[in-house]
């Protein structure tokens, strides 16, 4: 019923969209210059139609973040979601260096293997910063860009660079605590009732994957994604910026700054939504995306 690589707790999912995404999740071996061995990479693909859409999740998240968005998009376009290197259910053991550059290289090889043509690249939160980084480096691969509550304006925290054992392990272990994760999720949602037991399980399933601690520490100590403010004017693709009007994770100030810095961009606010409009308002989010693509 479920792929063997998913942890046993996947059987406790209750929402139809969560179950369906888990059942459709697959692993593909992606050859990269990062290691002699291919990297087993987790992804999901549905629908047909060009240009294809690729969804990139946020920090310490997975493709389950798009469980409500992906099937709606797939009614009109070929839609994929992929777990970035070091995150989700993509293998963490093949590559020791988990940083922005290795994430970008792995993502490019995934695109060359699984997509091969210009795509609509959608990034949420940290995934937005990854999408910006990818677009600036590989513009030929991106037809249009969509940012959902995106990181990439403010400079990232540098404290992680100075974490030394065992404090790095303790910091990652703190992030793993159920109450901490529940609190973060509560802040991300405007409608707190959507932070259900199923939603919390979707946000925690990947914690059981081998190498989670090591990869989380490695990415944090790399410094993560910084500010692209000085390079945003280089983005030539038409860009859609979607932002929850009640975002309490990144706030709302950066939305207008993205619109000002990216020449061919438009900003759309999503009412009654926090940091995750793709989970809170999937129908509204999908309509804006498809209107933009068409």
Under DSSP, is residue 148 helix (H, G, I), strand (E, B) or coil? strand
Q: What is the pLDDT of residue 224?
A: 92
For 150-178, the pLDDT digits (tens) are 999 987 654 444 344 544 445 667 777 88
pLDDT digits (tens, 9 = 90+) for 75-128: 999 999 999 999 999 999 999 899 999 999 999 999 999 999 999 999 999 999
pLDDT reported for residue 172: 64
**Structural domains present in the chain:** 8-293 (3.40.50.1820)
Pairing of the two strands 39-46 and 26-30 = antiparallel
- Which tokens go with 115? 């997509």
Q: Identify whether 166 is preceded by a cis peptide bond (ω within 30 of 0).
A: yes
Position 294 pLDDT exceeds 90: no
Question: Phi-psi region for residue 224, left (φ > 0), alpha (ψ -120 to 50) or beta?
Answer: left
Per the prediction, the chain carries an average pLDDT of 93
Q: SS3 for 143?
A: strand
Written as six digits, the tokens of 230 are 């000085």
For strands 265-270 and 142-148, give the pairing: unpaired
CA distance 169 to 213: 7
Strands (E), 136-182: 142-148
Is the pLDDT confidence value at 197 over 60? yes
Catalytic residues: 125, 247, 275
In percent, the amount of the chain with pLDDT more than 70 equals 94
Residue 33 clears pLDDT 90, i.e. is over it:
yes
Q: How far is the C-alpha of 103 from the C-alpha of 285, rounded, in Å?
A: 26
């Amino acid at each position: 019923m479920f792929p063997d690589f998913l942890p046993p707790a996947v059987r406790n999912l209750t929402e139809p969209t969560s179950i369906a995404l888990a059942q459709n999740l697959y692993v593909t071996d992606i050859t990269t210059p990062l290691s002699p061995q291919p990297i087993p990479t987790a992804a999901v693909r549905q629908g047909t139609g060009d240009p294809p859409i690729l969804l990139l999740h946020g920090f310490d998240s997975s493709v389950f973040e798009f469980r409500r968005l992906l099937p709606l998009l797939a009614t009109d376009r070929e839609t994929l979601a992929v777990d970035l290197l070091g995150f989700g259910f993509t293998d963490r053991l093949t590559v020791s260096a988990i940083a922005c550059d290795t994430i970008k290289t792995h993502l490019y090889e995934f695109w060359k293997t699984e997509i091969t043509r210009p795509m609509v690249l959608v990034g949420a939160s940290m995934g937005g910063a990854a999408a910006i980084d990818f677009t600036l480096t590989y513009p030929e691969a991106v037809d249009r860009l969509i940012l959902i509550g995106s990181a990439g304006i403010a400079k990232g925290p540098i404290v992680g660079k100075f974490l030394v054992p065992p404090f790095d392990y303790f910091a990652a272990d703190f992030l793993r605590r159920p109450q901490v994760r529940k609190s973060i999720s509560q802040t991300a949602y405007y409608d707190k009732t959507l932070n259900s037991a199923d939603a919390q399980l979707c946000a925690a399933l990947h914690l059981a994957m081998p190498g989670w601690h090591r990869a989380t520490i490695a990415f944090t100590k790399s410094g993560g994604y910084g500010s692209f403010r000085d390079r945003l004017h280089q983005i030539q693709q038409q860009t859609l910026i979607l932002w929850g009007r009640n975002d309490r994770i990144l706030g709302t100030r950066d939305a207008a700054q993205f619109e000002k810095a990216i020449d061919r961009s438009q900003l759309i606010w999503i009412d009654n939504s926090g940091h995750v409009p793709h989970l809170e308002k999937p129908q509204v989010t999908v309509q804006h995306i498809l209107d933009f693509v068409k």
